[in-house]
């Protein structure tokens, strides 16, 4: 299934995308695409519904973040070997874990706002993992049983806040609008094997990132297991798993986002995002 949330900001409703690309409303079956609604039993119940029996949403609507009420937004850094080489960093021996503020989460096509005082806002197309079944100290062999599905994440980052303001990466990762999620959550059964998905990102039509999940250093099961050794995972938590080469900081000379730019992101099987960059 391709599950989604639609409607105005803060008042999103749950839905799914049918085989014809139409949005169907799920409000009679779940109150939101969050928490317990992402557990296996509920997903199986939703999968058994004939989409044609659900109300169709006519006209254009805003897509919200594909997961609501996210408890933790966890990011894995330097997780692509070709990206680590590009930025002249050693391949990490363990996953590098940081947190993005949940207040950074936005819709897949919402504007990205350059925060006051930043001149080095950058892009990162990433594969997001949505936790379905919570747990702690999860065995790697069981880790995929805890995954509800996958989505696109744009891990927008203010490099000056991240690297020039005291060395705390979270400051450059958690600004408002710096975490677009979606357009939909593709359930694990539909997404299948995500270890070899092409992914790319363009700015104003120029392709800067053009990579694949096959160059990830740590796979999904290993990441979920590893993170659960440091913090319990709950239904609806999101883990974004790193980016391939080509972000703005790595360009020669570096290229950063400016008001008026448009980012366009794609990951095979997971859809596309498009964001306009605006000033604060």
Decide if pLDDT at 279 tops 90: yes
Is 195 among the domain residues? yes
Is 58 among the domain residues? no
pLDDT digits (tens, 9 = 90+) for 11-23: 999 999 999 999 9
pLDDT digits (tens, 9 = 90+) for 70-100: 999 999 999 998 887 777 778 899 999 999 9
Is 92 among the domain residues? yes
Decide if pLDDT at 206 tops 80: yes
User: Quick one: pLDDT at residue 269?
Assistant: 98
Is 84 among the domain residues? yes
CATH number at residue 142: 3.90.850.10
User: Quick one: pLDDT at residue 83?
Assistant: 82
Is 153 among the domain residues? yes
Is 132 among the domain residues? yes
pLDDT digits (tens, 9 = 90+) for 217-248: 999 999 999 999 999 999 999 999 999 999 99
pTM, entire model? 0.97
pLDDT digits (tens, 9 = 90+) for 21-40: 999 999 999 999 999 999 99
Rounded Cα–Cα distance for residues 179 and 170 (Å): 12
User: Quick one: pLDDT at residue 168?
Assistant: 75
Is 146 among the domain residues? yes
Is 5 among the domain residues? no
Number of domains in the chain: 1
User: Quick one: pLDDT at residue 90?
Assistant: 85
Q: Give the structural domain span for 180.
A: 67-279
pLDDT digits (tens, 9 = 90+) for 126-185: 999 999 999 999 999 999 999 999 999 999 999 999 999 887 788 999 999 999 999 999
Across the range 108-131, mean pLDDT stands at: 98
């Amino acid at each position: 299934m391709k599950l989604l949330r639609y409607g105005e900001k803060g008042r999103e409703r749950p839905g799914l995308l049918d085989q014809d690309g139409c949005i169907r409303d799920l409000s009679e079956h779940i109150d939101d695409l969050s928490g317990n609604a992402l557990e296996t039993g509920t997903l199986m119940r939703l999968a058994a519904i004939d989409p044609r029996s659900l109300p169709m949403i006519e006209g254009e609507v805003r897509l919200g973040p594909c997961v609501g009420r996210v408890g933790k937004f966890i990011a894995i850094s330097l997780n692509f070997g070709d990206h680590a080489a590009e930025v002249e960093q050693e391949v990490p021996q363990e996953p590098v874990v940081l947190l993005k503020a949940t207040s950074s989460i936005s819709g897949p096509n919402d504007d990205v706002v350059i925060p006051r005082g930043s001149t080095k806002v950058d892009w990162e197309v990433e594969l997001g993992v949505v936790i379905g079944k919570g747990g702690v100290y999860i065995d790697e062999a069981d880790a995929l049983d805890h995954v509800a599905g996958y989505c696109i994440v744009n891990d927008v980052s203010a490099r000056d806040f991240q690297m020039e303001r005291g060395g705390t990466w979270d400051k450059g990762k958690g600004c408002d609008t710096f975490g677009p999620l979606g357009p939909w959550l593709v359930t694990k059964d539909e997404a299948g094997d995500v270890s070899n998905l092409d992914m790319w990102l363009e700015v104003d039509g120029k392709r800067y990132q053009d990579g694949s999940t096959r160059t990830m250093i740590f796979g999904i099961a290993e990441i979920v297991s590893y993170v659960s050794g440091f913090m319990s995972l709950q239904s609806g938590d999101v883990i974004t798993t790193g980016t391939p080469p080509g972000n703005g900081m790595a360009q020669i000379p570096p290229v950063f986002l400016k008001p008026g730019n448009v980012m366009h992101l794609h990951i095979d099987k997971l859809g596309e995002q498009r964001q306009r960059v605006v000033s604060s």
